[in-house]
Structure 1
Amino acid sequence: MMDILMYLFETYIHSDAELMIDQDELEDELLRAGFHQQEIYKALHWLEGLAALQQGERLDMATGSANSTRIYTQDETLRLDVECRGFLLFLEQVKVLTTETREMVIDRIMGLETQEFTLDDLKWVILMVLFNVPGNENAYTQMEELLYSTEQGLVH
C-alpha cells in the first residue's frame, strides 16, 4: 500500500501533474502500473481518510501544552519503533510538526494496513499530511529540505 501512496504522491501531487478526478481511471492507471486491486482500494480508502482529516472531520484530539509529552498507545508503539517516535519528537521540536499535524500523521500511520513500517515510510506519510493540510506550506518545505538536503546529516 505504501508503494501505491508514494507512486500517487510522486506522480500526481509532488510533480504538479493534474490529478485525475475519475476514480475508475485512476484505478485503471494503477492496475496498469502493476499494483493489485485490493491494495489499490486500501490506498484510495487511506487517501479518503487523509481528506477527512484535512476537513477536520476525523480527529478528536485534546491539545496539550507546549511542554506536554505524547504518550503512545500499545498499538502505536508496535507500529512506530523508537526511531520513528524520536523522529516525530524531533520534528515537533524544530517546529515542522505541530501537535495537530503530529496527530494527523499518527492517525494516517495507524490507518495503514501493514505490519512493516520504517522510518522512510514515516517520512513519506509526514510529507503527504503536510502537503494536504492547508496552512502548512512552510512546514512542508522544511520537511522537504530536511529529507533532500545532502548537507543535513541529522535525518539521512
Structure 2
Amino acid sequence: MFDILMYLFENYIHSEMEVVVDHDELTDELTRAGFAHQEINKALAWLERLADLQDSQAKPYLNKAPQGAVRVFTEAEKGRLDIPSQSFLMYLDQIGVLDFTTREMVLDRVMELDSKQFSLEDLKWVVLMVLFNVPGREDAYSQMEGLLFEEPDGFLH
C-alpha cells in the first residue's frame, strides 16, 4: 500500500501534474502500473481518510492543542516507530515543521499503514504527504521537502 501512496505522490502531487479525479480511471492506471486491486483500494481509502482529517468533526482531538503538554508515544506507536523516527518527529515539532495538529495527523496516518516494515525515510514521506494536504502549511511543506531531498552538511543537532 505504501508503494502506491509513493507512486501517487511522486507522479501526481509532487510533480504538479493534474491529479486524476475519477476513482475508476485512477484504479485502472494503478492496475496497469502493476499494483494489486486490494492494495489500490487500501491506498485510496488511506488518502480519503487523510483528507477527512481536515474536518474538525472527524477527529475532535485535533482541535484541542494542550499548552505545555509533552507527547508520549503509545505502545502501539512505539511498535511502529523506532527511536530514530520518534526522535525525528520530536525534532520536527521543535523546529516548527509540525505543530500539535499536524503531528497527530502524521501519527494517525502512520498507524493506519499496514506495512510490516516502516523506516525513517517512510516517515518523512508521510510527513510530506500530510503537510501537502493541510492548507496554510506551505512553508512547513517546503521546509520538510528540503529536509527530505537535501543532504545535510554536518550534524543536525
TM over 0.5: yes
Task: Establish whether residue 50 from structure 1 lines up as the match of residue 33 from structure 2.
Answer: no
The C-alpha deviation readout for 1:14-50, integer Å capped at 9, x for no partner, is: 1111111110000000000011111101000100110
Distance, in Å, in 2 between the alignment partners of 1:20 and 1:49 is: 18
1:81 positional shift: 1.1
State the SS of the aligned residue for 1:54: coil
Q: Once structures 1 and 2 are overlaid, which stretch shifts more, 91-100 or 144-153?
A: 144-153
Does structure 2 retain, via aligned residues, the 8 Å contact 1:59–1:104? no
Residue number in structure 1 paired with 2:141 = 140
Residue number in structure 2 paired with 1:75 = 76
Task: Establish whether residue 60 from structure 1 lines up as the match of residue 63 from structure 2.
Answer: no
Residue number in structure 1 paired with 2:87 = 86
Matches of residues 1-156 of structure 1 in structure 2 within 5 Å? 1-61=1-61, 62-65=64-67, 67-154=68-155
State the SS of the aligned residue for 2:53: helix
Distance, in Å, in 2 between the alignment partners of 1:18 and 1:119 is: 29
1:153 positional shift: 4.3
Aligned Cα RMSD in Å? 1.4
User: What 5-or-longer segments of structure 2 have no aligned partner?
Assistant: none
Does structure 2 retain, via aligned residues, the 8 Å contact 1:9–1:128? yes
1:154 positional shift: 4.8
Distance, in Å, in 2 between the alignment partners of 1:60 and 1:32 is: 39
Does structure 2 retain, via aligned residues, the 8 Å contact 1:92–1:98? yes
Q: Percent same amino acid among aligned pairs? A: 55
* Structure 2 counterpart of 1:131, one-letter code: F
Distance, in Å, in 1 between the alignment partners of 2:154 and 2:133 is: 27
Q: What TM-score do the two structures reach when normalised by structure 2?
A: 0.93
Q: Aligned residue pairs: how many?
A: 154
Q: What TM-score do the two structures reach when normalised by structure 1?
A: 0.93
User: What 5-or-longer segments of structure 1 have no aligned partner?
Assistant: none
